[in-house]
Chains A and B, each alone.
Chain A
Amino acid sequence: MNILLETAAIILFGSGVLFMLVGSLGLLRLPDFFTRTHASGKVDSVGMMLCLGGLALHEGPTLSGLKLVLVIAFVAVSSPVAAHALARAAVRSGLKPWRAPGQGGPDR
C-alpha cells in the first residue's frame, strides 16, 4: 500500500515536471504573446497542480497534506483566471494574433 502511494506520488510529480518542461519550451519557442500565454498557462496550472498533488500524496492525511490540497484548489482557480485576464487585456489594447507567413501573416 505504501509502495503504491509512493509510486503514484512519483508518477504525479514526474508528469508535473514534464508539463513544466514542455510549457517552458513553449514559452521560449512560440512566436507571439497569445501562444506564449497558452504555454505558460500549462506551467502555472497543470504542472504546478500535478507537482503539489504528488507532494500531497507523499505527505498523507496530515495538516500539511490538507494545506497542500488547499493550495491546489487556489491554484486551480487563480492561475487560469490570471491567464485569461492577461490575454483579454492584450486583445482589448489591440494586439493582433500571430498568423503564419502566407496565411495572412507577413511574407518572409
Chain B
Amino acid sequence: MRTPSRSLVVVLAARGLAPAIQLFALYVVFHGHYSPGGGFQGGVLLAASFVLVRLAEGYGAGQHQIPRRAGLLLGVAGVLLFGAVGAAAFLTGGNFLDHGRVPLPGFAPADLRSLMILVIEVGVAITVAAVLTAIYDELLGDEDDA
C-alpha cells in the first residue's frame, strides 16, 4: 500500500472544476424541458463532482461535503419525492403520474404537468447523485478501512 499523496496540480484543478460541474449539472436538470438532458444526466454530473472532490482532496474532505450516511438517506428521499408526486394524483381520482390531476389550486392543468415533471426530474437527480456517490463510498470498504 502506497502512502497517499496530494498533488497540488490535481487539487487546484479539482477545486476549480467541481463548482463549475455542479453549476452545469443544475443547468442540465432544470433545462431538461427544452434541451437534451434531464434528471439522470444532471444527477450523474453532480455525482461526478462529488467523486472528483473525494479523489483529489482525499476521502475526509469529501465526507464534509456529502457524508457517507447522507448518501443513502438522500437516495431514499429522491425516490420518495418521485413516488409522492406520482401518487398525489390519487387524491382527486387520477392515475399514477397523472400530473394534471394533482390537487394544487391556482394552476391550469397544462402548467401543472410542466411543473410536476420538473419536480420529478429533481427527485431523479437527487437519487442518482446520492446513489452514485454511495457506490463509490461502498467500493472503498467499511468506514474503518477508509
Contact = CB atoms under 8 A, between A and B. Distances in A.
Say whether A and B bind each other. Answer: yes
Interface of A: 74, 77-78, 81, 84-85, 88, 92-93
B2 A77 contact: no
A74 B20 contact: yes
Interface string B1-34: 0100101011001001100100000000000000
Contacts of A85: 7, 9-10
A75 B110 CA distance: 41
Nearest to B3: A92
21 contacts: A74-B17, A74-B20, A77-B13, A77-B16, A77-B17, A78-B13, A78-B17, A81-B9, A81-B10, A81-B13, A84-B7, A84-B9, A84-B10, A85-B7, A85-B9, A85-B10, A88-B7, A88-B10, A92-B2, A92-B5, A93-B2
Contacts of B13: 77-78, 81
A84 B17 CA distance: 16
A78 B2 CA distance: 25
A81 B7 CA distance: 10
Contacts of A74: 17, 20
A64 to B, nearest CB: 11
